[in-house]
Structure 1
Amino acid sequence: RSNVAQARESLRLPAPGRPAAAVPAGVQSATPGVTPWLTPGKDFYRIDTALSVPEIRAEEWELRVHGLVEEEVRLTFQDLLDADLIESHVTLTCVSNPVGGNLAGNARWLGLPIREVLKRARPTAGADMVLSTSIDGFSASTPLEVLQDGRDAMLAIGMNGEPLPLEHGYPVRMVVPGLYGFVSATKWVVDLEVTRFADSKAYWTQRGWSERGPIKTMARVEVPKSFAVVKAGKVPIGGTAWAQTRGIPKVEVQIDGGDWTEAVLSEEASVDTWRQWSFAWDATPGSHYIKVRATDGTGEVQTEKRADPVPDGASGWQSVMVTVE
């Protein structure tokens, strides 16, 4: 492990052929205490099936692309270093994240667009899924069309300007905007099989989860925390919302079941990243309940209907109880 870690530390990433778009000033919520807009690698959530972090030497890594394709493709890590890479800010979300939960993170990723690899392989008629497999046997089912459209789905080798941390998939992982990680974000990826949903089942699909996992629109309250005690008067409320590939044009706050009032949105970096918000509340003494909901770029309002994470992600409006003195 120490040898792999040392090799990672000495790795110098190439400059992207297409750098990430400049992040606008003002993406951070004006409310103190809201999570940083860009998540440091050390704070990025980790959910996977690896009992121990795989140790892969970059020079020995190889990706095989096969199945329902006209041409089998094999890529080495050097092939990725030599390729025309892209850089993009993308927010990832875990399907097991509860309403208001913290299993989400936003980072700047560097990698090779998966659509370019699929162009070389040339999927055949009838294929509708790519089964990605990790070196430790984990697999994920990703709709083929998602990997071929214009979104920045990539074989990522960099995170926030550095090589991927070992625990986040070094040397190569998948990043796919708009899908929960259990059907897209395979770490330590070594195999892409172009196949059909009817013919192959991924790791979590075999265990009762859905085979496709589009991310649901979600907003959360981060400040104040539930059961917090605050002083009467102007109380800052703030948090984060996301609807990857659709964007967040509106967030609303409700106090004690009253009218919904629009929050102030921070700047939007892209539709693939989360968006933060703030709200000034005239708080009066007593116990109060704060609710939040978001509207995505298609005009669809986040549903109030509560659903557990299984099988395709949690839904509902978060409610935070606070005491005002």
Structure 2
Amino acid sequence: MASASAALGAGELVAAVFNASASPILSVGSFVIDLTPAFLKSAVIAAFGTGDKPFLIVVLLAVVLVAGALAGILQVRRPPLGVVLVVLLGVLSAAAAVTRTGATPVDAAPSIVAVVIGGSMLARLGGRSVTAGRREFLRGAAVTAVLGVVGGAAARALSAGQRGTQQAIATVRLPTPTATAAPPAAADSFDVPGITPLVTPNADFYRIDIALSPPALDPAAWRLEVTGEVEHPFALTYRELSALPMHESPTTLMCVSNEVGGELNGTAVWLGTSIRDLLARAVPKAGADMVLSSGADGFSASTPLSVLQDAGRDSLLAVGMNGEPLPQLHGFPVRMVVPGLYGYVSATKWLTRLEVTRFDEKAAYWTTRGYSAQAPVKLSSRIDRPQNGARAGMVTVAGVAWAQHTGVSRVQLQIDGGPWRDCELAGDWSVDVWRQWRFRWQAERGAHTLRVRATDAKGLVQTSSVQGEVPNGATGLHTVQVAIT
């Protein structure tokens, strides 16, 4: 285990200097994510939410330590089988690193260094466990383990790519928008404690993606390719993209992994340029019906070409979020924002490529893992408050509802299986943004069951039929149990 710690620390330190995403843990973790079936992915996200990545890293660290313990036993009892196991694990890690999108042979270096350090320390400590005294052996093992931890900590502090990206973000000056979003009116939100705010602060915005560590992209070197079945393929630099007409657009984004009543969604005022205009410049060929967008993390999304060409839908290549440059965690320097579609078919972060193609020719990242190729956001609603322990008397029940790109016309609340009662709606800031609702309830002491449903602007009532997140989004009515005291 001490040798495994030293190996990891050395590998992480080398990765921090050259390429943080090539670290042994992140490389293997990304490989595991790629192999994860849809049902298991949904289960992990349901259990851990945006903590899914820290959970995976902790699990991988535990696996490495267990593998280290096994290697130690083998090395003492049947040398050099312990070192052979370390080499095999290193080969797996190196292979995972060099097969990632955009990887180079140099990305194998952290894994190779980890193998050399781990194998040599294992051989050394394995020998000392036989020849040295107990105290001397434990002292050597402890020093080795501490050096590994120190190396890992130093790697986090010295990560050149991450540090450089943060510095680049700090120097970005957002383009002046040609059109700004009208701020929400006072009537567009309720002053109710605990209700979801109309706009989500950047620090609170959900993050679900396949990148264990967000790609560290230099905007000066960034390029976007617009290619595929088009008459005029072209590429843009970050400076050229920033010089295009930019406008603001308030839009709520939804993750397909959001369970009914979940919080894997958020609203921001995005600053970006029209994807429709870029596609018009490229001139898609007849028969094309899909745009396959790709990110630097290896993710891809299949978006209907007709949606991106829809003049009534504000699909953007975003560079700004709530008045700030796009944060690294949310796709810096450029990401896609498409109203009305779940993120896995539209919201590619760290965007590098738009390929015009056809659904019958290409498949996106999650489409090959059991999810639908097309996935409009489903009509849904959520109860935010009250919490257990609310006092009897007049209680405000409140939450949000969404029918993206259509709009919400009605929200109703059911209490203890009784009749559906109409709720008060806040103003409709945008059909692409969730809408707040509230209901004043004369609550009595005891346990109560609250259930909510929404109706969209076309008259569609939210279904009570229960479906999981796979293959294209969860359905059902959000139901909560509350205890009134």
TM-score by length of 1: 0.98
CA–CA separation in structure 2 for the residues paired with 1:49 and 1:304: 31
Q: Deviations over 1:216-270 (max 9, x none)?
A: 0110000013xx1222111111001111100111111110111111111111111
**Larger deviation: 215-224 or 1-10?**
1-10
Q: Does the alignment pair 1:238 with 2:401?
A: no
> 2:59 corresponds to which residue?
none
CA–CA separation in structure 1 for the residues paired with 2:360 and 2:471: 18
> 1:101 corresponds to which residue?
262
CA offset at residue 24 of structure 1? 1.5
Aligned AA (2:468): D
Q: Percent identity?
A: 53
> 2:177 corresponds to which residue?
16
CA–CA separation in structure 1 for the residues paired with 2:395 and 2:448: 12
Q: Does the alignment pair 1:32 with 2:193?
A: yes
Q: CA contact under 8 A between 1:29 and 1:239: conserved in structure 2?
A: no
Q: What is the 5 A alignment of 1:91-170?
A: 91-150=252-311, 151-170=313-332
CA–CA separation in structure 1 for the residues paired with 2:389 and 2:201: 29
SS at match of 2:408: coil
CA offset at residue 86 of structure 1? 1.4
CA offset at residue 202 of structure 1? 0.4
Q: Which runs of 5+ in 1 are unaligned?
A: none
Q: Which runs of 5+ in 2 are unaligned?
A: 1-161
Aligned AA (1:94): C
SS at match of 1:3: helix
> 1:7 corresponds to which residue?
168
CA offset at residue 22 of structure 1? 3.0
Q: CA contact under 8 A between 2:380 and 2:475: conserved in structure 1?
A: yes
Q: Does the alignment pair 1:297 with 2:457?
A: yes
> 1:277 corresponds to which residue?
437
Q: Deviations over 1:94-145 (max 9, x none)?
A: 0000000000100000001000000010001100000000012110000000
CA–CA separation in structure 2 for the residues paired with 1:129 and 1:26: 39
Q: CA contact under 8 A between 1:63 and 1:192: conserved in structure 2?
A: yes
> 1:49 corresponds to which residue?
210
**Larger deviation: 194-203 or 11-20?**
11-20
Aligned AA (1:216): K
**Larger deviation: 25-34 or 199-208?**
25-34
Aligned AA (2:462): Q
Which fold has the larger relative contact order, with Cα–Cα distance below 8 Å and residues 6 or more apart in sequence?
1
SS at match of 1:307: coil
Q: Does the alignment pair 1:201 with 2:369?
A: no
Q: What is the 5 A alignment of 1:157-196?
A: 157-196=319-358
Aligned AA (2:340): G
TM-score by length of 2: 0.66
Across the two proteins, how many residue pairs are aligned to each other?
A: 323
Q: Does the alignment pair 1:86 with 2:252?
A: no
Q: CA contact under 8 A between 1:248 and 1:271: conserved in structure 2?
A: yes
Q: Does the alignment pair 1:316 with 2:464?
A: no
> 2:381 corresponds to which residue?
219
CA offset at residue 315 of structure 1? 0.5
Aligned AA (1:71): H
SS at match of 1:112: strand
Q: CA contact under 8 A between 1:303 and 1:316: conserved in structure 2?
A: yes
Q: CA contact under 8 A between 2:338 and 2:346: conserved in structure 1?
A: yes
CA–CA separation in structure 2 for the residues paired with 1:230 and 1:7: 47
Q: Does the alignment pair 1:258 with 2:414?
A: no
Aligned AA (2:356): V
CA offset at residue 31 of structure 1? 2.3
Greater fraction helix: 2
CA offset at residue 283 of structure 1? 0.8
SS at match of 2:190: coil
CA–CA separation in structure 2 for the residues paired with 1:29 and 1:49: 35
Q: CA contact under 8 A between 2:214 and 2:297: conserved in structure 1?
A: no
Q: CA contact under 8 A between 1:31 and 1:223: conserved in structure 2?
A: no
Q: CA contact under 8 A between 1:254 and 1:292: conserved in structure 2?
A: yes
CA–CA separation in structure 2 for the residues paired with 1:133 and 1:42: 25
Greater fraction strand: 1
Q: Deviations over 1:295-315 (max 9, x none)?
A: 111110111101100000001
SS at match of 1:110: strand
- Coordinate RMSD, CA, aligned: 0.9
CA offset at residue 25 of structure 1? 1.4
CA offset at residue 181 of structure 1? 0.2
Q: What is the 5 A alignment of 1:52-71?
A: 52-71=213-232
SS at match of 2:187: coil
CA–CA separation in structure 2 for the residues paired with 1:29 and 1:219: 16
CA–CA separation in structure 2 for the residues paired with 1:98 and 1:272: 20
CA offset at residue 2 of structure 1? 1.1
Aligned AA (1:189): L
CA offset at residue 37 of structure 1? 1.2
Aligned AA (1:277): W
> 2:448 corresponds to which residue?
288
